[in-house]
Amino acid sequence: MLIRIPAVLNGEQLELAQALLARAHFVDGKLSAGTSARRVKRNEEVDVEASGEIERLNQLVMGSLVQHPLYAAAALPHHVAAPLFARYTQGMEYGPHIDDPVMGKGARYRSDIAVTVFLSPPESYAGGELVITTSFGGQYVKFPAGDAVMYPASSRHHVAKVTQGVRLVAVTWVQSLVRDAAKRELLYELHQARESLLQQHPDADETRRVDNAYVNLVRMWAEV
């Protein structure tokens, strides 16, 4: 399930994020990659040890993301990772790969879902599309700055080569309460129907039935 999350960051938040990243210290992105991904990863990432305002960046981006109702409904988050802030300049790319299934240092977590928050306007760089392999073929994603895309971390994906300009993104991962991607998709669809019914027909019998079904399916499938 590939979901666009609009307006995670507003214009003011984007300007602040871009200003903080302009002052940040970047290092080779291979330093955070697993053995397989290291061979195809060519980007730069903010050095969390050397960049004093990394916590401010984390709070700015993640604080907005986790409060977004679409994210909460689709991800059903149980554990959310601190983001990586990546920069792609001319000639940089990230070849085809699948994210590591288990991540984290110390507190380990399962990476069910990947989220990319776009921090550069799409017209400010050429190339740099996030390409996600799905059952319908490759999906090319290059959303406006401030928007995000959420997709299964088990999907094969890559970032096309940037041929001009600079691509800035924040990337994070989620361990969901519901491990199975197909079950998460069913719950998300049911949630959308439930919200519509609650708004339009809050006292109807069918609203009560859908509400009960959603709540009890989450109870049945959630892992805590």
CATH code: domain of residue 114 = 2.60.120.620
The pLDDT, as a whole number, for residue 159 is 98
pLDDT band at 104 (very low <50, low <70, confident <90, very high): confident
Host domain of residue 199: 181-221
Q: Identify whether residues 97 and 165 lie together within a single domain.
A: yes
One-letter amino acid at 181 equals A
Place of tokens 């197909």: 182
Burial of 130: CB neighbours in 10 Å, binned 0-12, 13-18, 19+:
buried
Q: What are phi and psi of 39, to 5 degrees?
A: -70, -25
The pLDDT, as a whole number, for residue 51 is 66
Alpha helices (runs of H) in the chain, residue ranges in sequence order:
11-23, 35-38, 54-66, 69-75, 181-200, 205-221
The pLDDT, as a whole number, for residue 32 is 81
Q: Identify whether residues 48 and 157 lie together within a single domain.
A: yes
Share of the chain above pLDDT 90, in %: 87
Place of tokens 């299964």: 152
Last residue of one domain, picked from the residues 176, 195, 212: 176
pLDDT band at 216 (very low <50, low <70, confident <90, very high): very high
The pLDDT, as a whole number, for residue 48 is 83
Beta strands at 84-88 and 44-46: parallel, antiparallel or unpaired: antiparallel
Number of domains in the chain: 2
Measured over the CA atoms of residue 191, residue 194, residue 198 and residue 200, the dihedral's sign is positive
pLDDT mean over 22-38: 85
Q: How far apart are CA 103 and CA 136, in angstroms?
A: 28
Q: Identify whether residues 211 and 143 lie together within a single domain.
A: no
Q: Identify whether residues 106 and 185 lie together within a single domain.
A: no
Q: Identify whether residues 115 and 206 lie together within a single domain.
A: no
Q: Identify whether residues 49 and 153 lie together within a single domain.
A: yes
Alpha helices (runs of H) in 8-155, residue ranges in sequence order:
11-23, 35-38, 54-66, 69-75
The pLDDT, as a whole number, for residue 52 is 73
Query: If you average pLDDT over every residue of the chain, what do you get?
Result: 94
Condensed to tens digits (0 to 9), the pLDDT of residues 138-177 reads 999 999 999 999 999 999 999 999 999 999 999 999 999 9
pLDDT at 212 over 80: yes
The pLDDT, as a whole number, for residue 134 is 86
Place of tokens 């096309």: 160
Share of the chain above pLDDT 70, in %: 99
CA dihedral (8, 13, 16, 18) in degrees, to 10, reads 30
Q: Identify whether residues 187 and 169 lie together within a single domain.
A: no
Condensed to tens digits (0 to 9), the pLDDT of residues 183-192 reads 999 999 999 9
Does the pTM surpass 0.85? The reply is yes
Q: Identify whether residues 61 and 152 lie together within a single domain.
A: yes
Greatest CA separation found in the chain? 58
